[in-house]
Structure 1
Amino acid sequence: MSESHIVVLGAGLGGTIAAYEIRAALKGKARVTVVSKGEDYWFVPSNPWVAVGWREPEALRVHLPPVMAKHGIAYTGIGARKVHPESNRIELNDNSLIDYDYLVIATGPELAYDEIAGFGPDHHTVSICETAHAVAAHAKFEELCANPRPIVVGAAQGASCFGPAYEMAMTLDTELKKRKLRDKVPMTFVTPEPYVGHLGLDGVGDTKGLLESEMRNRHIKWITNAKVTSVDDGMMHVTEVNDDGSDKKTYDLPFGWGMLMPPFRGIAAVRGVEGLSNPRGFILTGKHQRNPTYRNIFALGVCIAIPPTGPTPVPVGVPKTGFMIESMVSAIAANLKQLHNGEEPSNEATWNAICLADFGDGGVAFVAKPQIPPRNVNWSSEGKWVHLAKIGFEKYFLRKVRMGESEPFYEKLALHVLGIKKLRFDN
């Protein structure tokens, strides 16, 4: 019997480790090809550090083709134009086609900056969603330091990734204090969350109290239940809404440096494919990470459709954290192995969350098991150890990608955090 062909679409955090783990689980039974746009993996969680000059972007890059080749995985950086699930085929950006027996979609999101007038790195605000964006944000930050003005940071309506927004605000505060400029730079945190520390998860432990206290201590004002109506050069227009969604108050916020996490949607290659994605382009999956219409397609990570934890006055999405993504990867690899053994898939992801939110001189960590409440574990803590832990995490995970390691890591990380609130990583 010839080997089947498994294509992994996307080479971010989820796609990269999925390729390694699937290859390890099905060696001899399947060949694996990764299709991505570009040839590099970037450690996106460290982008806030790039934005203030604490990391050089090259330190966060792994050139993937030689790493993949070493592990017997084919790779193309041409990128996908359209997925054609009815014919088990992907159309690439150079008009070529690639066929598959099984497809694992791990593309991450498309950044929907265009949904707000004047928003995004091509217009009037900066971004930390891509490392190249963070490099441009750092140049803008240096301009701000030479000519101090207000900062507006946070997340736009429909965003589903809030940790980096809090990290960015606190890291900016830390760096400005180091430069003796904090007193010249007022800062406002804008978010669609109904309260500070909601995080798209209805809070975890006392994230509300911890983050509100942190904001007060750092003299960061905040506006919750906020939606951005438009952005002009140096001015952000924001509307705060009541609990029933009606307008409460409008703000014109001047800024010299502005960064809001954008709303996400599915990438163009999967949007509008009936039965595969929802109206926002997120992939529809069942409990085995399998698409209900196209049974040879699996999906994981930020690109999948997950309903919100509950209604909020302004749309707030649910984050897909690394712990959750890694669990999806393991479930898919095990399910593909079962299919190749003539069995029906039975493995389910645990959908737990662990987050290390670094503030430059401290931080907040939380563990939610499961991610969506009610939970068996609902824990949060703070301290300088979080900052040190994230430094270690960056080092560990980049090594994992460079070495092609498929061993799950986040469960181990969660046990360390819950057990000793301190992390030790092997060098």
Structure 2
Amino acid sequence: MGKPKIIVLGAGLGGTIAAYEIKAAVKDKAEVMTVSDSETYSFVPSNPWVAVRWREPEAIQVHLPPVFAKKKIGFTAVGAKRVHPVEKRIELNDGTFIDYDYLVIATGPDLAFDEIDGLGPHGGHTVSVCQTAHAVAAADQFDAFCGNPGPIVVGAVQAASCFGPAYEFALILDTELRKRKIRDKVPMTFVTSEPYIGHLGLDGVGDTKGLLESEMRNRHIKWITNAKVAKVDPGVMHVEEVGEDGAVKRTHDLPFGFSMMLPAFRGVPAVRGIEGLTNPRGFIIVDKHQRNPAFPDIFALGVCVAIPPTGPTPVPVGVPKTGFMIESMVTAIAANLGAIVEGRDANAEATWNAVCLADFGDGGVAFVAQPQIPPRNVNWSASGKWVHLAKIGFEKYFLRKVRKGESEPFYEKLALHVMGIRKLRL
């Protein structure tokens, strides 16, 4: 009987470090392989910088095949067409199949731009920072906009579960427009499905409500909360502002010359609609050990995991899966697979803590939530120029970690640095 085969599906922030940590945990007792649709790892948290040309895409990307080869991890960039959990195999985009003994799903989300007419970079009228290629296209549009400035609309639509990058991008735009000395020509509006500024899908962390409201006021950015985007026409966003009872209390027709709106997420087509594996949105159902109850040979981590909202809101709001939370899922899965290949029980659980550095170009807000979903043991937030410097240090550290194939967890150390000395020494 040969070694068990572990497949990691996805090579983003979660999938890449999962492959490294799982390989370190199982050593030579199992074969580890990664299936991705690209040979390139992109550091997604830096995409807002790419969209204003503070970073070139090559600076935040890593060519994965040589790193995986060095770590003796198999790799293909053909991409997955469909997971067949009953047969324990993955159908690839070229029509071939790969069998597995254990599967770790780390695909990230499918971006549901199509759920709102006119939304998104592919045939729509808004840009995106969800993918690095989107951010590159956004930079071109932003340059053109600066030659003929006008209103800007930034935010996150109904059912979005990722809000930090929307705040970051709005405030980074403010910083860049001031650098270009055209901020006075650009009215800005922040449109969000959150019930209040700083909710973040987490019912706030520390004083994120006060900190972010203060930033928006100081930078002359108006906002609309409890907002549903009805549709987007060229140069006009149609927004419904919802009351506490769920009824539309006001409508807004917001003109814009440039707009970035984060979409709702859903599971990728390769897994969506598989009974027992996913919920109705296509997210993977897992237990406290990151294991799917219907198919116990499947684990999942990151944005593709199903997590219920923190509570009811007038407009649907999802829960973000932040880097610390994802890393804790990775560590738990690696420990569980290490135990399984040695014939022991898989008992490790993820901590699901959160640490976030939201950069505003010349400052920022940091928060730490332990656990991510309230009630919490740690509920902390702070702001200052040190956050911008910390984000730069974090980017350098994490990219170095990916390039070297290092499996050492980092986010817990980041949280301690942020809460303790408020700066990183990297």
SS at match of 1:87: coil
- Partner letter of residue 90 of structure 2? I
**What's the offset of the Cα at 1:177?**
0.3
Structure 2: how far apart are the matches of 1:3 and 1:392? 40
Percent identity, aligned pairs only?
Answer: 75
Match of 1:232 in 2: 233
Matched, 1:78 2:85: no
Match of 1:133 in 2: 134
SS at match of 2:86: helix
Structure 2: how far apart are the matches of 1:94 and 1:341? 34
- Counterparts of 1:237-276 in structure 2, within 5 Å, are 237-276=238-277
- Counterparts of 1:140-179 in structure 2, within 5 Å, are 140-179=141-180
Structure 1: how far apart are the matches of 2:374 and 2:139? 37
Match of 2:375 in 1: 374
**What's the offset of the Cα at 1:2?**
2.5
1:105-129 per-residue CA deviation (whole Å, 9 max, x = no partner) reads: 0000000000000100011000000
Matched, 1:420 2:410: no
**What's the offset of the Cα at 1:310?**
0.2
**What's the offset of the Cα at 1:87?**
0.4
Structure 1: how far apart are the matches of 2:254 and 2:284? 36
Matched, 1:97 2:134: no
Match of 2:299 in 1: 298
1:263-318 per-residue CA deviation (whole Å, 9 max, x = no partner) reads: 00000000011110111000000000000000100000000000000000000000
Structure 2: how far apart are the matches of 1:418 and 1:181? 36
- Partner letter of residue 90 of structure 1? I
Match of 2:278 in 1: 277
Structure 1: how far apart are the matches of 2:6 and 2:337? 9
Matched, 1:321 2:285: no
Using the size of structure 2 for normalisation, the TM-score is 0.99
Structure 2: how far apart are the matches of 1:373 and 1:155? 22
Match of 1:184 in 2: 185
**What's the offset of the Cα at 1:3?**
1.2
Structure 2: how far apart are the matches of 1:388 and 1:220? 24
Unaligned 5+ runs, structure 2: none
- Partner letter of residue 237 of structure 1? H
**What's the offset of the Cα at 1:338?**
1.2
1:168-207 per-residue CA deviation (whole Å, 9 max, x = no partner) reads: 0000000000111000000000000000000000000000
- Partner letter of residue 22 of structure 1? I
Match of 1:410 in 2: 411
Structure 2: how far apart are the matches of 1:389 and 1:421? 8
Match of 2:343 in 1: 342
Structure 1: how far apart are the matches of 2:350 and 2:170? 32
1:342-384 per-residue CA deviation (whole Å, 9 max, x = no partner) reads: 1221100000000000000000000000000110000000000
Aligned residues, how many?
425
Structure 1: how far apart are the matches of 2:32 and 2:21? 10
SS at match of 2:94: coil
Larger deviation: 100-109 or 414-423? 414-423
- Counterparts of 1:8-87 in structure 2, within 5 Å, are 8-87=8-87
Unaligned 5+ runs, structure 1: none
Match of 1:365 in 2: 366
Structure 2: how far apart are the matches of 1:87 and 1:238? 46
Structure 1: how far apart are the matches of 2:53 and 2:41? 20
**What's the offset of the Cα at 1:244?**
1.1
Match of 1:206 in 2: 207
Structure 2: how far apart are the matches of 1:349 and 1:185? 44
CA RMSD of aligned residues (A): 0.5
Using the size of structure 1 for normalisation, the TM-score is 0.99
Q: Which runs of 4+ in 1 moved over 3 A?
A: none
SS at match of 2:176: helix
